[in-house]
């Protein structure tokens, strides 16, 4: 089995290294720089190449760090779509990754799938931003495509809150607001692979901090992977179309609710909490999907003429 592991940082990036090692245990794992991908639209067909190798020679494409340090990100997105379009297995799917990156799209995809998630709003015009804050009352303002707890701000429907929201509209052109969920400074991060939770942890924020990101100094401990939280996390990953995902679940007064879904989740914290390297279940899952596809496309003995000779 051949795996193309897309990353511009095969040696420097801890996650890329782990994925290359786990896929390498199941076949050939080639690190492919996103900027080395090219597409050729010929008379009859489209061909994608990674350096000199036709992409069709690979059984699966793994978007470890799908965006390169060089090249054009829009071209890279389109090449991943073309790969999918020409029948290659690409995980995570590029459009699922882009959905997870976009907090507005995440909110509505979760809502549409019936997965518990707080009310949320985006607004571009100052009056609508103020109205959105009034509608939510108490909220967290977030960058539409942020991570690691960066740029998050708690806002209330008061003078300071309205000021903060208007500043964001002026600076960024839009503001995303998610209803505040009262929580005791801890939440759950569940790492979903395929249809199951491969690892889960509780994250406990340091005193005075409401953001539970590991990058903000949260302490971690293992959580059981099953139960209602697990089912919620699996449903959240499915709603976004992700093969693997990191799902943030906080338990508020109305029960567990999904704050966000990460399509390119780190598993440094999960490894610390559980001792489990998520590269293994990821590689196992992708390997199983690739094998299934090979079996589907392999000719049956009858088609191959085995019974007619
Ligand atoms: N609506 C909310 N109510 C309460 N806490 C929140 C809310 N949104 C985010 N947080 C806290 O901030 C952390 C980071 O928010 P999140 O949406 O996951 O953004 P990021 O992509 O930066 O991790 C969460 O893990 C949680 O602890
Ligand atoms: Mg998060």
Domain region containing 194: 186-282
Residue 181, ligand 1, Cβ within 6 A: yes
Give a yes or no: residue 291 inside a domain: no
Judge whether 11 lies within some domain: yes
Which residue among 179, 209, 227 closes a domain? 179
How many domains does one find in the chain? 3
Among residues of the chain, what percentage have pLDDT more than 70? Answer: 96
Find the mean pLDDT for residues 156-178.
97
**pLDDT (mean) for 30-57:** 93
To test ligand 1's pocket by mutation, which of 259, 262, 264, 268 has the most ligand atoms within 8 angstroms of CB? 259
- Gap between the Cα atoms of 218 and 210, Å rounded: 10
Give yes or no: residues 83 and 138 share one domain: no
Residue 123 is part of a domain; what is its CATH number?
A: 3.30.1490.20
What confidence tens digit (pLDDT) does each residue in 7-41 have? 999 999 999 999 999 999 999 999 999 999 999 99
- Long-range CB pairs of 156-160 (<8 Å, 24+ gap) are 157/133
d(CA 114, CA 179): 17
How far apart are the CA of 219 and the centre of ligand 2, in A? 14
Is the CB of residue 187 below 6 angstroms from any atom belonging to ligand 1?
A: yes
* 125 closest CA partner among 176, 160, 177, 174: 174
pLDDT in tens, 202-214: 999 999 999 999 8
Is position 52 within any domain?
yes
| Residue with CA nearest ligand 1 atom 12 | 211
What is residue 44's predicted lDDT score, i.e. its pLDDT?
Answer: 85
- Indicate the pLDDT class of residue 147, thresholds 50, 70 and 90: confident
| Structural domain includes residue 250 | yes
Share of the chain above pLDDT 90, in %: 84
Q: Which residue has the higher pLDDT, 188 or 45?
A: 188
């Amino acid at each position: 089995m051949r795996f193309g592991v897309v990353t511009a940082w095969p040696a420097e990036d801890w996650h890329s290294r782990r994925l290359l090692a786990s896929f390498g245990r199941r076949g050939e794992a080639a690190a492919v720089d996103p900027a080395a991908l090219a597409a050729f639209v010929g008379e009859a067909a489209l061909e994608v190449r990674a350096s000199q190798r036709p992409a069709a020679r690979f059984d699966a494409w793994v978007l470890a760090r799908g965006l390169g340090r060089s090249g054009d990100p829009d071209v890279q997105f389109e090449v991943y779509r073309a790969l999918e379009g020409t029948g290659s297995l690409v995980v995570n799917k590029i459009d699922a990754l882009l959905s997870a990156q976009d907090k507005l799209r995440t909110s509505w995809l979760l809502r549409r799938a019936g997965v518990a998630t707080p009310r949320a709003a985006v607004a571009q015009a100052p009056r609508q931003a103020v109205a959105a804050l009034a509608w939510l009352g108490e909220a967290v303002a977030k960058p539409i495509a942020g991570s690691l707890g960066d740029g998050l701000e708690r806002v209330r429907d008061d003078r300071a809150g309205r000021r903060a929201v208007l500043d964001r509209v002026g600076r960024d052109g839009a503001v995303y607001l998610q209803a505040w969920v009262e929580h005791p400074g801890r939440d759950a991060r569940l790492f979903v692979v395929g249809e199951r939770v491969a690892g889960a942890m509780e994250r406990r924020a340091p005193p005075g901090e409401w953001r539970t990101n590991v990058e903000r100094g949260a302490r971690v401990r293992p959580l059981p992977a099953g139960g209602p939280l697990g089912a919620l996390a699996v449903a959240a990953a499915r709603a976004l179309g992700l093969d693997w995902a990191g799902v943030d679940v906080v338990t508020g007064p109305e029960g567990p609710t999904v704050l966000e879904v990460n399509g390119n989740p780190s598993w440094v914290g999960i490894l610390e909490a559980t001792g489990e390297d998520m590269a293994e279940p990821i590689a196992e899952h992708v390997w199983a999907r690739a094998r299934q596809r090979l079996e589907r496309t392999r000719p049956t003995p009858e088609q191959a003429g085995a019974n007619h000779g």
